C-alpha cells in the first residue's frame, strides 16, 4: 500500500467506525421502541409483526456490533 493510500484508509476507517456506532445507537433506540410497543399490544397480528421486526433489528444490531468491536478483542 502506498503512503497516499494509507493516509486515505485511516480517515475512511474512522468514518466507517463512526457511522457504524451511530447506526448501532439508532438500532438500539428503535429496538427499545419496538419492545415497548410489543409489550403494550395484545393484538396477535401486531405482536407477530413486531416480533418479526425485532428479530430483524437484532440481527442488524449484531452486524454493527461486530463492526465496532476493536480488532484486538476479535483476536483474543
What is the separation of C-alpha 6 from the centre of its chain, rounded to a whole number of angstroms? 27
71-76, Cβ contacts within 8 angstroms, sequence gap of 24 or more: none
pLDDT at residue 8 above 60?
no
**Alpha helix ranges (H) inside 2-70:** 3-40, 44-68
pTM here is 0.75
Output 5 or 16, whichever has higher pLDDT. Answer: 16
pLDDT by residue (tens digit) across 15-72? Answer: 889 999 999 999 999 999 999 999 999 999 999 999 999 999 999 999 999 988 865 4
Amino acid at each position: 500500500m502506498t503512503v497516499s493510500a494509507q493516509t486515505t484508509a485511516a480517515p475512511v476507517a474512522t468514518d466507517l467506525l463512526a457511522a457504524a456506532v451511530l447506526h448501532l445507537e439508532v438500532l438500539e433506540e428503535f429496538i427499545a421502541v419496538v419492545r415497548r410497543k410489543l409489550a403494550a399490544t395484545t393484538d396477535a397480528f401486531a405482536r407477530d409483526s413486531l416480533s418479526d421486526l425485532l428479530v430483524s433489528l437484532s440481527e442488524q444490531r449484531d452486524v454493527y456490533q461486530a463492526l465496532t468491536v476493536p480488532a484486538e478483542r476479535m483476536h483474543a
